[in-house]
Structure 1
Amino acid sequence: MLNLPDTFIEKYQKLLGKEKAAALFESMNQETKKAYRINSLKAHQKVSYSNAQAVPFIPNAYYGEVKGEDPEWVSGTVYSQDPAAMFPAYLAQIEPGQKVLDLCAAPGGKTTALGEALQNAGLLVANEISSVRVKALRENLERWGISNALITNDDSFALAKVFPEFFDVILVDAPCSGEGMFRKNPDAVSYWSPDYVLTCRKRQQEILTEAVKKLRPGGKLVYSTCTFSPEEDEEIVAWLVKTFQMTIEPTQVESKKISHGQARFVDDNLPELDRTLRLWPQDDLGEGQFVAVLRMPGESSPIDSKKEKKKKKKKRSALLNKDERDWVEKVLSNFNLPDFLTDWPSKALVSHDHVFIPAYKQSTKGLKVINNGVELGLLKKKRFEPGHQLAEVLAQVDQTQVVELQSNEEYRKYLHGETLRVKSELRGFVLVAYHDFIFSFGKITGNGVLKNFYPKGLRTMKG
């Protein structure tokens, strides 16, 4: 039973009335709603979980529980996510080829959805200010097979200097007081206070002031929080409208499980606030969430093709030499490549022996870059060793150079980092799968031993 602060109870009784507030408080003591999304980028999508109950509006999303060692999760075929938290990325309505920024991205639930919508075309900048949480972000984007992401570990101020008026869409899932997560994370109740709400509001305004500098004229800002607080929700949206002359876009989402924002909470003279969305836990969709879609004034100017060509001709000293291309080709020729990788010889660069295809080719000076694009693998003495990220990307198309693990025991041993003896005519580098879910590279020796190339940082305790 949650021990809600008296000031919290009084606040929402005043905002909602005693009957609706009581329903909110009661819902906070009920079980959380769990759901998952299926990755449409992967070639194999037949999962073992039930798809009997779909999450409203969200493509390929269903209620159900996912375990972290299931092959569906390890292979990046599913992502476990609060169903309410799926809506900000969905409402962004991303189109392939756009330039998209997820400003507060970790652990990556919304980011994977944005990257999936881009379909390996355009650019996704995924930023996380925490040096600890950005590691989880990178792992999740790698697992999902996102090939066109620039992952950064910076604040909004640093990004604004590098990307002025650059992005078509920016998603800001802002740090907040977390009222919508009370039943999922009861510890959040302990640090809630009216003063903390105001502190969060100030921080959100600071983040957004820099965020809008990165939007193209006519660009779209998706603002979301996991709190109910009008100070951090409707009030912030009203501030964006008045300060930056932004307009609130209609969301075209109507459901008994989804409510709208309330102008009466903040400013009755701005009825467009009712276009925003509020997801309450008592409506039985998921946890608490607030989402607003706003448009910057002006019109996006078309891309200057001459300028783009000039950028592409910029001299790069890190291109692969002939021998290096031959070593990479010797390995890649055994696998079916997605269309966006077929021209890798002209795109691949090498840095400290790491071979990669950059998502962003221009200067990132001043930014802490965690990953840029897709890493193909590592150059060693007169040979090439394919990388884990490449394995997850290759799972987007059907493959023949695959060894299928035959039992749960073999699968768990492989996740633990052990070598296995397999019955296969294949030799050399292979993709490793369990229940048809590709999740790693391996290498079969002449005597049928499958050497383990599952990354050490992802390996599990032996179970």
Structure 2
Amino acid sequence: MLNLPTSFKEKFEKLLGKDEAAKMFAAINQNTKKAYRVNPLKAIQQVSYDQDEAVPDLDNAYYGEVNGQDPEWVSGTVYSQDPAAMFPAKIAKVKPGEKVLDLCAAPGGKSTALGQALKGEGVLVANEISGTRVKALRENIERWGISNALITNNDSETLAKNFPDFFDKIVVDAPCSGEGMFRKNPDAINYWSPEYILTCQSRQKEILQQAVKMLKPGGKLIYSTCTFSPEEDEEIVAWLVEQEGFKVLPIPEITSTKISHGHPEWTNSNLVELKETLRFWPQDNVGEGQFAAILQKSGEPAMVNEKKVKKNMKNKKKQHNKLALTVDERKLVGEVLDQFDLPIALKQWSKQALVRQDHVFIPALTDESKLRGLKIVNNGLELGLLKKKRLEPSHQLAEVLGQVSQTRVVDLAQREDYLSYLHGETVKVDTNLKGFVLVSYQDLIFSFGKVTGQKILKNFYPKGLRILKKN
């Protein structure tokens, strides 16, 4: 039984009434709701998990538990995520070609869904201020096969200087008091206090003030938290309406009766539009706690300045020429890529690929004015590293190649071989293939390998992803 703070219980008894609050407290002491999404970008989407119970109002999302050593996870075929946390990316309704920012992106659940919706067109900027958490963000975006993401490690103020009025949509899953995580992470109870809620509210406003600067006139802001407190939810939305001129938009695609709506009466403003926001309570049995809203920035999108566009294109071309592959480098890259069936993201690689410090990549963003001064973790699709007149293909490339059917694949027959490979070991294989190959288990591609003349599969699974022990 979790020891919920007395002030927390008193607060929600007052807001919800004693009967509904009792249901909430009882639900917080029950097991967490776990779920996963299936990746529609991958060529093979069959999974071994039960799909009898779908998450309401979401595509390709089901209740169930994922093991981090399962081939479904390792190959990026599934993403384990709290079901309620899946909704902010859903309601963003991202379209191919849009410019999208996930401002507080780690560990990557929302970024993978946003990038997936772009279908390789447009750009996703996935930002995380934590240097530790941004590593997990990169791993998850790569595993999911997103090829057009710029991953950055900056504070919101730094980003705002580079991207004024730039994005069509911005998702801010703001740092919060974490009340919705009490049953998932009981440690969150220890640092909860009424004062902490106000600290979080202040931080949320600071982040949103920078997000407002980066959103185009007429652009959409998706705001979410994993907390129940009106101070961080309805009051923040009311502040955006009253101070920043935003308009709250309805979310008609969410129809489940298990999902609640916002409470205007919990704010001083009493804005009727707050009823359009979404609330996820643990007693409604969808997932953990979540709040979500869509708001639209005032104003009309600016007219395109043709002269400025031509100037930018000219500058991009100069930068591209400076980093473009030489004839010899293009040949080395082609010797690897020409052996595989290429998805759309790679069809024009010879024209798009750049090289910097021997890293060959197809950038998601080429405008140097947007990149200057940023801590960039990854820009687009890393193809590989040039070494001694050869290209060593990247792990990200393997995950992207998994989007289409491949023939140059070694499928590991035994689970023991699969776990050995994840552990970083070489494996004896029965194949006539030689050189670089894609490696799969249960037909799910998850890595590159290299077959020697002795039919030994040399290990190219990244050291940072390897398992410490074989279960």
Q: Same fold (TM over 0.5)?
A: yes
Matched with 2:362 is: 357
Matched with 2:451 is: 444
Question: Which 5+ residue runs of structure 2 have no aligned equivalent?
Answer: none
SS of the aligned residue for 1:117 comes to: helix
1:387 maps to which of 383, 390, 394 = 394
- Counterparts of 1:265-344 in structure 2, within 5 Å, are 265-267=266-268, 269-301=270-302, 303=304, 307-314=308-315, 315-316=318-319, 317-344=322-349
Matched with 1:258 is: 259
Kindly tell me: are residues 409 and 48 of structure 1, through their superposed partners in 2, closer, same or farther at Cα, counting changes over 3 Å? Answer: same
The alpha-carbon deviation at position 311 of structure 1 amounts to 2.9
1: CA distance, partners of 2:310 / 2:232:
43
1:400 aligns with 2:401: no
- Counterpart of 1:325, as a letter, is R
- Counterparts of 1:11-410 in structure 2, within 5 Å, are 11-252=11-252, 253-267=254-268, 269-301=270-302, 303=304, 307-314=308-315, 315-316=318-319, 317-363=322-368, 364-410=371-417
The alpha-carbon deviation at position 303 of structure 1 amounts to 4.9
1:434-456 Cα distance to aligned partner (Å, 9 max, x none) = 00100000011122111111111
The alpha-carbon deviation at position 310 of structure 1 amounts to 4.0
Matched with 1:458 is: 465
SS of the aligned residue for 2:232 comes to: coil
Q: Is the 8 A contact 1:413 1:462 kept in 2?
A: no
1: CA distance, partners of 2:183 / 2:357:
46
1:333-361 Cα distance to aligned partner (Å, 9 max, x none) = 00011112111111111111110011010
1:428 aligns with 2:429: no
1: CA distance, partners of 2:56 / 2:301:
32
SS of the aligned residue for 1:450 comes to: strand
1:8 aligns with 2:33: no
2: CA distance, partners of 1:167 / 1:434:
39
- Counterpart of 2:455, as a letter, is G
1: CA distance, partners of 2:64 / 2:336:
39
Aligned Cα RMSD in Å?
Answer: 1.1
2: CA distance, partners of 1:84 / 1:303:
38
The alpha-carbon deviation at position 299 of structure 1 amounts to 1.8
2: CA distance, partners of 1:311 / 1:373:
19
SS of the aligned residue for 1:49 comes to: coil
1: CA distance, partners of 2:364 / 2:345:
11
Aligned residues: 463
2: CA distance, partners of 1:60 / 1:112:
13
Q: Is the 8 A contact 1:415 1:454 kept in 2?
A: yes
- Counterpart of 1:264, as a letter, is E
The alpha-carbon deviation at position 309 of structure 1 amounts to 4.8
- Counterpart of 1:426, as a letter, is L
Kindly tell me: are residues 122 and 295 of structure 1, through their superposed partners in 2, closer, same or farther at Cα, counting changes over 3 Å? Answer: same
The alpha-carbon deviation at position 366 of structure 1 amounts to 1.5
Question: Which 5+ residue runs of structure 1 have no aligned equivalent?
Answer: none
- Counterpart of 1:242, as a letter, is E
Q: Is the 8 A contact 1:34 1:83 kept in 2?
A: yes
1:144-195 Cα distance to aligned partner (Å, 9 max, x none) = 1110000000011000000000000000000000001101111111111100
1:231-274 Cα distance to aligned partner (Å, 9 max, x none) = 00000000000011100000112222100000010046410000
Using the size of structure 1 for normalisation, the TM-score is 0.98
- Counterpart of 2:339, as a letter, is N
The alpha-carbon deviation at position 312 of structure 1 amounts to 3.4
Q: Is the 8 A contact 1:165 1:216 kept in 2?
A: yes
Kindly tell me: are residues 114 and 436 of structure 1, through their superposed partners in 2, closer, same or farther at Cα, counting changes over 3 Å? Answer: same
Q: Is the 8 A contact 1:402 1:433 kept in 2?
A: yes
1: CA distance, partners of 2:306 / 2:145:
29
Using the size of structure 2 for normalisation, the TM-score is 0.97
The alpha-carbon deviation at position 305 of structure 1 amounts to 5.9
SS of the aligned residue for 1:313 comes to: helix
1:106-155 Cα distance to aligned partner (Å, 9 max, x none) = 00011100010111110000000000100000000010111000000001
Greater mean deviation of Cα atoms: 222-231 or 296-305: 296-305
1: CA distance, partners of 2:310 / 2:432:
46
2: CA distance, partners of 1:126 / 1:22:
39
1: CA distance, partners of 2:53 / 2:139:
28
The alpha-carbon deviation at position 308 of structure 1 amounts to 4.0
- Counterpart of 1:123, as a letter, is V
1: CA distance, partners of 2:331 / 2:402:
23
1: CA distance, partners of 2:303 / 2:69:
45
- Counterpart of 1:234, as a letter, is E
Greater mean deviation of Cα atoms: 452-461 or 304-313: 304-313
The alpha-carbon deviation at position 385 of structure 1 amounts to 1.1
Kindly tell me: are residues 308 and 335 of structure 1, through their superposed partners in 2, closer, same or farther at Cα, counting changes over 3 Å? Answer: farther
The alpha-carbon deviation at position 298 of structure 1 amounts to 1.3
The alpha-carbon deviation at position 307 of structure 1 amounts to 4.3
1:184-225 Cα distance to aligned partner (Å, 9 max, x none) = 111111111100000000000000011100000000000000
Identity across aligned pairs (percent)? 65
SS of the aligned residue for 1:168 comes to: strand
- Counterpart of 2:42, as a letter, is K
1: CA distance, partners of 2:46 / 2:30:
31
2: CA distance, partners of 1:447 / 1:332:
24
The alpha-carbon deviation at position 421 of structure 1 amounts to 1.4
2: CA distance, partners of 1:151 / 1:242:
32
1:300-335 Cα distance to aligned partner (Å, 9 max, x none) = 236556644543333021110000000110111000
